[in-house]
Amino acid sequence: MTATAGRDAGSAARHESDAVGPAPLAMVVGPTRLAPSVLRRLADQPPPITDRRFLAEFREALELLRPVLGTTAAETFLVPGSGTAGMESLAASLLDPARPVLVLSTGMWGERWHELCTGLGLPSRVLRAAPGHGLDLDEVAACLRDRPYQAVLLTHVDSSSGVRADVATVTALAHRHGALSLVDGIAAAGAEEVRQDDWDVDAYLTSPPKALSGPGGLFLVALRAAAVDVLTDRGWTPRGYSLDLGRWLPVTRTLAAGDFAYFQTPPGALVSALAESLRLIVAEGPERIRRHETLAVRLRTGLAAADLRLFTADAADRAHGVTVLRTPAGVDAARLVAAVERHGVVLQAGTYPTAARRTVRIGHLGNHTAADVDRTLAALTAALAETARAEA
């Protein structure tokens, strides 16, 4: 689906914007560009929630999520809500409010894990990586030796720092110390290799509007047996109601068998559009990850040629779908983003907690092409030349 879907998605985006002039190219972390066949699903009449074809498509989406996350063993869930709702759902459903958790932070999304745990009344300790760096695994091991934690909460790709975490090693460390591993893969799945079974990740969370090139409004969860056991054997009362995966479990099992079950009304068009985006991803196969890697290299080679430095210090830690660059000395991120937009490309100012004004994020997730990357580099180069002239 690679090149063709990318081209089709591009022409669909242009067509839609005809009424208001040429659409800028959005190189953002999300929402990302949808393929035409996914867009068409969003325009369909929502089916009755008992409709046999709808139930078959729901079941297919639950099944197709497994190969995308590298699992045959996990139970999958599609739940209405944002990515953040998904993070809250994991924490509220799987974590005993009386026992501490260890949050590993590589940026804004680790901080969000920490804030939402605090909001739920869960005692949490945060271990922060140095800005722009990956986690120090010796420090992680030392923390886990220090005292018992029920779970380690991790971000696979933190889109504020561009850092990809070593999920396999962290999960192995967590398990050695009797802790579950809960992974936010919202900016990772679809662009990075995910091997939930091989890595033994207990709970993997993602959401469609990033590298899965799907619609916003659902979060997707895959739970391996140890996490499912928590849901069925909790000796504590979970916080909240609608996000409780314990209540969703019998429903998802029935839907996975192709039968009707109700807990909350599923958004029909979103489920159908998601099923289509997962079909495209599965059809593309492992080439999808290589394609993201190749685009990342193309972009970073161009940035280096333009003398731009990356925020993510070590090449081995750099994610495939997000690039965070440092603005040149004296250039404010918001000003640079505005200047690039005048050249037809939308980027995002930084969100890394202590470097927001000095970093810019470029999303190259999902259906982007080499031509999009080249257009981005050209817009950035032109914007930087303008900024330099303005300062001269």
Ligand X SMILES: Cc1ncc(COP(=O)(O)O)c(C=O)c1O
Angle formed at CA 252 by CA 247 and CA 253, multiple of 5 degrees:
105
Q: In 3-state terms, what secondary structure has residue 318?
A: strand
For residue 346, state whether it binds ligand X (rule: CB under 6 A): no
- Quote the least distance from Cβ 5 to ligand X, whole Å: 23
Q: Tell which residue, 95, 67, 92, 70, has the closest CA to residue 79.
A: 92
d(CA 187, CA 365): 8
Helix (H) or strand (E) holding 181: strand 180-184
- What residues numbered 280-309 form the site for ligand X, per CB under 6 A? none
For residue 184, state whether it binds ligand X (rule: CB under 6 A): yes
- Quote the least distance from Cβ 69 to ligand X, whole Å: 15
What torsion, rounded to 10 degrees, do the Cα atoms 37, 43, 49, 53 define?
-40
- What residues numbered 201-240 form the site for ligand X, per CB under 6 A? 207
- Quote the least distance from Cβ 186 to ligand X, whole Å: 4
Is 274:208 a contact under the CB 8 Å cutoff?
A: yes
Nearest residue (beta carbon) to ligand X? 83
- The nearer residue to ligand X, 87 or 377, going by C-beta atoms, is 87
Q: Measure Cα distances from 333 to 264, 328, 384, 386 in Å.
A: 42, 9, 11, 14
For residue 83, state whether it binds ligand X (rule: CB under 6 A): yes
- What residues numbered 25-44 form the site for ligand X, per CB under 6 A? 29-30
For residue 312, state whether it binds ligand X (rule: CB under 6 A): no
361 carries a ligand binding annotation? yes
- Quote the least distance from Cβ 391 to ligand X, whole Å: 32
- Quote the least distance from Cβ 81 to ligand X, whole Å: 8
Size of site (CB under 6 A) for ligand X: 13
In the numeric block, the tokens 């079974």 are attached to: 197
- Token digits for 152? 């380690």
- Quote the least distance from Cβ 305 to ligand X, whole Å: 28
Region binding ligand X by CB under 6 A among candidate stretches 6-14, 118-126, 151-159, 382-390: 151-159
Q: Give residues with Cβ within 8 angstroms of 96, minimum separation 6.
A: 150, 234, 235, 236
Answer for which of 34, 180, 187, 218 binds ligand X (CB under 6 A) is 187
- Token digits for 249? 């479990």
Amino acid at 291: R
- The nearer residue to ligand X, 186 or 373, going by C-beta atoms, is 186
Question: Site residues (CB under 6 A) for ligand X?
Answer: 29-30, 82-84, 109, 155, 158-159, 184, 186-187, 207
